[in-house]
Amino acid sequence: MEQRTVMMVDDQPDVLKPLIEFLEGSGFRIIVAQSGEAALNRLKKFPLPDVILMDVLMPEMDGFATCRSIKEIGIAKDIPVLYMTALSDTVELVKGFQAGGVDYLTKPVQHDEVFARLQTHLKIKHLQQELQEKNAVLETKNRQLEELNACKDKFFSILAHDLREPFNSLLVLTELIIDNIEGWEPQNIKSIAQKVRTSAGNLYELLENLLTWSRIQRNMMEVHPQRINLTHVVAQNISRLEVSAQKKTNSPL
């Protein structure tokens, strides 16, 4: 089991010797600071204690002021602070909680009670750390989900945009066939049929490319760039535009 470190802040550490010996015998590592200022200086470097036992009545900087200052130290702000005091006034106790303390131990402290309170607050701290880690994982998953949703939306947007022209070409060709087939010569029918096949092939190729792009965006495929025949690509697009232009002239291609 990992050894836990307790910082004890008291201007009269000799009074705490029996408690220190008890806690060391219970497996804790003890750090002693004889003033609030000494405690603050120690908390600005690693390794940090896991929990702090703080005397309230100290000269210059009392326990409440020290606790408030601790909560302003970024690396130490989450360390639980337990006060040791003979104070019993409710107003004073509330001040301690407002300063950032989590619990009180009434002097003269009972060793078994100190041990039990330390164990309780260390457990709470551990659970809080676990919760923070799980929240961090959840936030990462949420960001990934948002990225996937954005990718999906982009895919559907591209799909709608890029499929419009090929489908329009097929619609134009079928309208030409319906409106003019009775007056066409066989060679004209064959020409239109070839255009239909070409448009269907272009549409199929476009769908395959879009699906491939989608897999790449989701890291389901590796990208292997290849050289392409730009003349062929331009010719395909000209062919699609010719079909749209044909609708205006109403003559076979």
Strands 5-9 and 103-106 come out as unpaired
Mean of the pLDDT values across residues 118-124?
96
Q: Which stretch of 38-42, 183-187, 203-207, 220-224 has the lowest confidence by average pLDDT?
A: 220-224
Residue 131: the pLDDT is 95
Q: How far apart are CA 42 and CA 31, in angstroms?
A: 9
Contact 23, 48 (CB under 8 A): no
Residue 240: the pLDDT is 58
User: How far is the CA of 4 from the CAs of 19, 29, 196, 222, in angstroms?
Assistant: 15, 6, 77, 48
| Residue with the larger pLDDT of the pair 229 and 86 | 86
For the chain, give the percent of residues with pLDDT over 90. 50
Q: Are 96 and 168 part of one and the same domain? A: no
Residue 34: both structure tokens together:
């004889």
Residue 173: the pLDDT is 78
Q: Are 155 and 243 part of one and the same domain? A: yes
Residue 251: the pLDDT is 53
Q: Is residue 127 part of a domain?
A: no
pLDDT band at residue 156 using 50, 70 and 90 as cut-offs = confident
For CA atoms 6, 10, 16, 17, give the dihedral sign: positive
36 has pLDDT over 80: yes
- How many domains does the chain contain in total? 2
Contact 36, 60 (CB under 8 A): yes
Residue 248: the pLDDT is 57
Q: Are 96 and 152 part of one and the same domain? A: no
Global confidence as pTM: 0.63
56 has pLDDT over 90: yes
Q: Is residue 118 part of a domain?
A: no
Q: Which of 86, 109, 132 is the last residue of a domain?
A: 109
Q: Are 185 and 102 part of one and the same domain? A: no
13 has pLDDT over 60: yes
Q: How far apart are CA 165 and CA 46, in angstroms?
A: 65
What is the residue type of 14?
A: D
145 has pLDDT over 60: yes
Residue 250: the pLDDT is 54
Domain that holds residue 187: 147-249
220 has pLDDT over 80: no
Q: Is residue 126 part of a domain?
A: no
Q: Are 96 and 160 part of one and the same domain? A: no
